[in-house]
Structure 1
């Protein structure tokens, strides 16, 4: 250091005493060029943090000679950089020719020296700023200290605080934005609500010049509505409405609404669920254009949503649910978008946030912040508050409301883009006493003087001082912009009182803050805190003082706090996910704050976790990882000084701890089972394994060998935790495996032991007795699924001695162990209650379907006249396949109970065959309709029905035969479990590849074929029915509706519900699938047998008696003319009933000439086949 200094001074004096030529000057510059100074920070850096400071080299000491520094400050897109010079002292000279600081804001470059920049702030024009500093070889000064901060300029990085009064300020769409007339729209926005008040509110309002609502969303009397041109659409059925709770919470949630005036319904997309709500009154309505769109309410009589809005976007077209589910931030609203150009937002309504969904990260929250700021809302975080008293001369005697609005607008524009970050809030009229009252006397006859008070909040995050005089000068300088008959008379600015910084008692530091609440953590009790209030003096605004201090939270015994938490969890069913997360966090703090936990406190904490486990699994998901870590830490800290073993048993989990001695290699095993009496929930044993335990752990005898000296110190205990309820182990990953056992956790001390030479043996009971095919032993990996946890099979195998009631796992490490079973289909994800209901529906439906399929088949077999045409013969084959499918399914569960593998394989293969046959005959129904309806002219196929039979029965038989021949039949077909309860097994396909290819894939091909044919047939039917002039519109609609319904069941359209039975809609579509498909035989009987005229005629001739009997020589059509007319009328009905060609007049409506030839050929084919 001294060497460098003396060398620089030598250069300096040589220059002062001996003027040299330019050549010597250049040489000296090379010798004394810029170089770093030992002990001073590097001054050529890039700064990209949200906020920070930088200084000249060696600050606050004098900067060195010959410096050439460059700081590059960068921020994400949507931000600018604001620099404030807190201290500035650089050698002064004309035009700063010696030492200087140069500031490049992206548009211009400015040079500073001396003390000119002290206290000033500068903004960049874009998201980058360059600051350079240079010094020559003589005269040093202290330099500068600068702070920088990001400032959000894009709406993407800011939310809007909704005004709670129309008079306060308005957040509206800019006048330059013209909103067109809307016959359809998609509207999305995010909202967050402050507080839990159950009150009426409006989130946004679009109205005409007379403030009549054209488009409004809000809440009234607990119900949510969307007002479209005077028609209210109630949306509760599409929203997760809870009693006295808002759909919006403290966290932002996106809501999208879709409307089209031709549909008469509103689509609502909320929390990734899309629902349609009928609203017939909006049909044909058009929302007028050129209205005024406000965020919040447009009337004081109706309150605005008490909270914030973000990312409001509007389109003049509709989007479907798939698009809304994947709607990104880059999709801009073509009518209104969340960009500055679209909005007129006062500065006080904008608030930059760090966690906005479409924004960049912002300044981190301060370590200690105000607990609340009731008077000023969210704007007064560590701010300095000034009261501005303004006397306005109201020359034109405007109404007070207008004066207040104009003054508010003037104040906001005055402080906008100022070097100091300030907010104007709480603007109001005020009449005081004394000097202020004298000032507002009406001294002139034709004018009026009014006093307006406003609060100015200055967030002094850059430590730059803002004086009241500076604010006053700023207002006076901008006086000319206050026009329209208003004139600024006087301005007075006072800083409101703040509570002085004080340390009381020792260890509790209370900073200087304005009147508000401040929360301080307890120094010796992590996780606990106390709150103290700074009170303002109502008679003297310049005074404020701290209120009394209550330290009870910091002096409470830990056991008392734990008991309070235990009482809170007594009614676990009413705990929400947020409640559980908070409780887990509190328990975690208690555990972390204690070095040793006694048995009393440990039992209390274990009971807290036991109560939590009684909550629903969905509420446990968010806090599961933290809960497991806390339980492990609790087990490690239980005091073992007075006993070798500790047992803590609760309703839903149990903890056993045993001391270990590495020197003697003494190993304790563990087993847990049900108690022999009712004294405890569980009975634990460390000496010998119990008879038929729920779980047991056998540690390898050489476990403690070869431990390092450090590990030997730590290994003094073994912890065993048994989970009777497994709600903390929910794998959200893309896996198809289900936990079928209890969970057993084991750990040794506080160290990680893995890659054991001899494995740990864990025996775990299944939660129910069942044959587990290919049991999978796994451990809970806390690092999977983004630290939510998930099952991992590494290092664990299942022993071959496992049986239906338990599995033995061998693992080479310690953690939480469980047994998984591969349940690839969606039924395994349905809870026990729904499984029972669905099973009941399916068995009842299949029984009913079997009866009516048999009735259909018997009808067509008994009456020869009914089966002369092709559709009847195809229908008979479909009914046969459906009958045997239902019968086989009904017998399947009974056959499974015998436990005979060969019989089970045979039944599974038959069930597979009849299922494929049903799919195939439904496909052939569709193909026949296409041939008969679309390809009717000159279409002739030899042995038509024979070929259909070969395909309908031969193709399924071929598929099943190939499967049985190509694979081991015991691996393909056998006993399979589809639910979570005992008795869910039945004989079916075991191999997932075979299931997805030869069942699901086969069905998919047939289904999409049927969909295509369904569309073609319906187009033909509706097109021809639409040409009839002898039926009313109502009759036409009903006829077409009947055609749609009958074809839906005949072609198996309802089987398509299977494609939607996944995710959150799984259970709902499983119910639809079970109801409609199990009753398919009934619906076919109704539409294609009971409702057909020729079937009814045969029934009346042969089965009825008395006046209901129809004579053999009677006919329902008396004349040929009548026949032709009725055939024309019944075209749609005949087709929809799949009775194509069932009477000789069907094709008359198609073509008189060619249809006759076609029908003759059909008759010939019918006889030949």
Structure 2
């Protein structure tokens, strides 16, 4: 990395690991291993990189391997900082076959001359081969361009006026400026954000403001993608969760009073209201808890939030199954309420316990806004790793897919069964019944699978509104249907459409 190239040969796994070595090479068609070192002699000779690149550009056979690799050589620019140095711009030379838009510009501030006490020559080296600088993390990718800025034999840090490095690149969203920390093992890639500030000036240009000298580049984060309109979505979600918590508490009180009617659907509606209240309360507080407690609190809160979500989905599934039972198995009594409680509250805890035992699943999650990647929103949820991603798909997404598909089917079947009823002539009753069943059966969560394409922003806002205010809509539905029933003298649809449907079908079969 100090403008010279060398070779070395490792003698096998029992020897100290070679920092630099020959990989996938041959000598007279014999593949190079530690066993053939007795047949051939190897000698490492340092070669100046500038000389090597000159030989490559002239087509020398000595560097034909480098030519085949198609890795452009680095280009260096040397500048002498005179006494009246007032700053200088340096632009990377255009490489053959590389677009002119992917250039790098460096601004050297006047403060660099003051900080460089012993030397006055600064060297800017522009690399187009980033294979040496990849750190092996799949979540991040190093930009094609890497810049090294040095003043020979001097360590320069804490510049009052930062160096500005502008990177032109393709369209990218989530990116951050980093520098290579060479204080540890220089052969180990260790990119840090310390000392660098990121300024995104459009999707195709990033400017890095750094107060020290070393290697600089831009890390492009592949996952997760940045969220558009995060501030507005967060405000809607917070308001919706707060309203839903209050609504669910009111609905719980209402349903507890209705338990005297001995309607079989009441305990199930009550279980759903309790789980939704817990889910909305945790989601409302998750941002505050993540910022205050961090990793000490978030594993517990993330696990609790995941449990509340799975419990809510389970109770919605119970609503689907119970409705099917009431509509199509009229003369067979449904299971007792304690069975539903075991399924709705105990069963979702099993995958949470397993995931918590596996470890490294729950913790602080960063949700990055597209307009300010340096200021992510923190929440307690699943971490950003492969284990957490698998856990999310095998638990949350799988249960959600089953819930939405069964909910849509059941909603159609129930509608077909009760649309001929006399009270359905009142449009408001029909609307409230279908809307309430849609919430009960979890079909509004199906919008999660439609977050793509040109309508993704609209779908995201619609999903955010419907699901965060779900507790409020359910409370409104129950109260309105009860009010309509009282206004109609008890002839209209009861407080729960499923229970009334069962009663209506029993009366019809008795008449027949």
Instruction: Spell out the pairing of 1:300-339 with structure 2 (5 A cutoff).
Output: none
Question: Which of 927, 931, 952 lines up with 2:344 in the alignment?
Answer: 952
Structure 1 residue 986, shift from structure 2 partner: 0.9
Which position in structure 1 is the counterpart of 2:303? 909
Which position in structure 2 is the counterpart of 1:722? 165
How far apart are the structure 2 equivalents of 1:694 and 1:740?
23
Question: Which of 338, 354, 377 lines up with 1:984 in the alignment?
Answer: 377
Which position in structure 1 is the counterpart of 2:407? 1010
Deviations 1:845-877 (A, max 9, x none): 1000111111000112245425x2121111111
Structure 2: gaps of 5 or more residues = 1-86, 92-97, 114-118, 126-148, 181-185
CA 1:1036/1:1091 → structure 2, altered by over 3 Å: closer, same or farther?
closer
Q: Does 1:739 align with 2:97?
A: no
Contact 1:742 1:766 in 2 (8 A): no
Which position in structure 2 is the counterpart of 1:714? none
Which position in structure 1 is the counterpart of 2:499? 1141
CA-based RMSD of the aligned residues comes to 4.4
Which position in structure 1 is the counterpart of 2:269? 875
How far apart are the structure 2 equivalents of 1:909 and 1:915?
10
Which position in structure 1 is the counterpart of 2:138? none
How far apart are the structure 2 equivalents of 1:1096 and 1:810?
77
Contact 2:403 2:441 in 1 (8 A): no
Q: Does 1:819 align with 2:209?
A: no
Which position in structure 2 is the counterpart of 1:994? 391
Which position in structure 2 is the counterpart of 1:851? 246
Instruction: Spell out the pairing of 1:339-738 with structure 2 (5 A cutoff).
Output: 626-629=99-102, 631-632=103-104, 647=107, 668=123, 686=151, 688-691=155-158, 722-723=165-166, 728-731=169-172
Structure 1 residue 1094, shift from structure 2 partner: 8.8
Deviations 1:1097-1144 (A, max 9, x none): 9xxxxxxxxxxxxxxxxxx75xxxxx7xx3xxx3xx34xx63433699
Deviations 1:636-692 (A, max 9, x none): xxxxxxxxxx9467xxxx9x99xxxxxx9x87479xxxxxxxxxxxxx985642317
Deviations 1:879-931 (A, max 9, x none): 00000101111121121122343421111111000100111111111111111
How far apart are the structure 2 equivalents of 1:729 and 1:988?
32
Which position in structure 1 is the counterpart of 2:293? 899
Contact 1:695 1:744 in 2 (8 A): no
CA 1:1064/1:930 → structure 2, altered by over 3 Å: closer, same or farther?
same
Instruction: Spell out the pairing of 1:1080-1099 with structure 2 (5 A cutoff).
Output: 1080-1093=470-483
How far apart are the structure 2 equivalents of 1:923 and 1:809?
59
Structure 1 residue 1079, shift from structure 2 partner: 0.5
Contact 2:157 2:213 in 1 (8 A): no
Structure 1 residue 963, shift from structure 2 partner: 1.3
Question: Which of 964, 985, 1003 lines up with 2:356 in the alignment?
Answer: 964
How far apart are the structure 2 equivalents of 1:818 and 1:889?
33
Structure 1 residue 739, shift from structure 2 partner: 3.4
How far apart are the structure 2 equivalents of 1:1090 and 1:972?
42
How far apart are the structure 2 equivalents of 1:953 and 1:694?
59
How far apart are the structure 1 equivalents of 2:269 and 2:465?
22
CA 1:1009/1:809 → structure 2, altered by over 3 Å: closer, same or farther?
farther
Contact 2:89 2:107 in 1 (8 A): no
Q: Does 1:1019 align with 2:412?
A: no
Which position in structure 1 is the counterpart of 2:35? none
Deviation larger for 920-929 or 1036-1045: 1036-1045
Q: Does 1:1070 align with 2:460?
A: yes
Question: Which of 932, 947, 953 lines up with 2:326 in the alignment?
Answer: 932
CA 1:820/1:1146 → structure 2, altered by over 3 Å: closer, same or farther?
same
Structure 1 residue 761, shift from structure 2 partner: 7.4
Contact 1:669 1:688 in 2 (8 A): no
Q: TM-score, normalised by structure 1?
A: 0.28
How far apart are the structure 2 equivalents of 1:933 and 1:975?
44
How far apart are the structure 1 equivalents of 2:175 and 2:392?
23
Structure of greater relative contact order (alpha carbons < 8 Å, 6+ residues apart) = 2
How far apart are the structure 1 equivalents of 2:189 and 2:439?
57
CA 1:647/1:730 → structure 2, altered by over 3 Å: closer, same or farther?
closer
Contact 2:178 2:192 in 1 (8 A): no
How far apart are the structure 2 equivalents of 1:822 and 1:1072?
26
Deviations 1:451-505 (A, max 9, x none): xxxxxxxxxxxxxxxxxxxxxxxxxxxxxxxxxxxxxxxxxxxxxxxxxxxxxxx
Contact 1:1049 1:1080 in 2 (8 A): yes
How far apart are the structure 2 equivalents of 1:1066 and 1:853?
29
Contact 1:885 1:914 in 2 (8 A): yes
Query: In structure 2, the residue corresponding to 1:985 is in which secondary structure?
Result: strand
Query: In structure 1, the residue corresponding to 2:314 is in which secondary structure?
Result: helix
Contact 2:367 2:376 in 1 (8 A): no
Contact 1:761 1:810 in 2 (8 A): no
Deviations 1:992-1044 (A, max 9, x none): 1111222122211222121111111111122x33xx5xx8xx93655433432
Q: Does 1:1051 align with 2:435?
A: no
Instruction: Spell out the pairing of 1:116-135 with structure 2 (5 A cutoff).
Output: none
Contact 1:974 1:987 in 2 (8 A): yes
CA 1:997/1:694 → structure 2, altered by over 3 Å: closer, same or farther?
farther
Which position in structure 1 is the counterpart of 2:510? 1152
The number of equivalent residue pairs is 368
CA 1:1015/1:766 → structure 2, altered by over 3 Å: closer, same or farther?
farther
How far apart are the structure 1 equivalents of 2:435 and 2:239?
22
CA 1:925/1:1046 → structure 2, altered by over 3 Å: closer, same or farther?
same
Which position in structure 2 is the counterpart of 1:842? 237
Q: Does 1:918 align with 2:312?
A: yes
Contact 1:872 1:1139 in 2 (8 A): no
Larger Rg: 1
Which position in structure 1 is the counterpart of 2:72? none
How far apart are the structure 2 equivalents of 1:1090 and 1:1039?
9
How far apart are the structure 1 equivalents of 2:253 and 2:161?
56
Query: In structure 2, the residue corresponding to 1:870 is in which secondary structure?
Result: coil
How far apart are the structure 2 equivalents of 1:934 and 1:1048?
19
Q: TM-score, normalised by structure 2?
A: 0.61
Whichever structure has more strand as a proportion of its residues is 1
How far apart are the structure 1 equivalents of 2:190 and 2:122?
13
How far apart are the structure 2 equivalents of 1:860 and 1:995?
33
Structure 1: gaps of 5 or more residues = 1-601, 607-624, 636-645, 658-663, 671-683, 697-720, 732-737, 746-756, 770-787, 790-804, 1098-1115, 1118-1122, 1155-1169
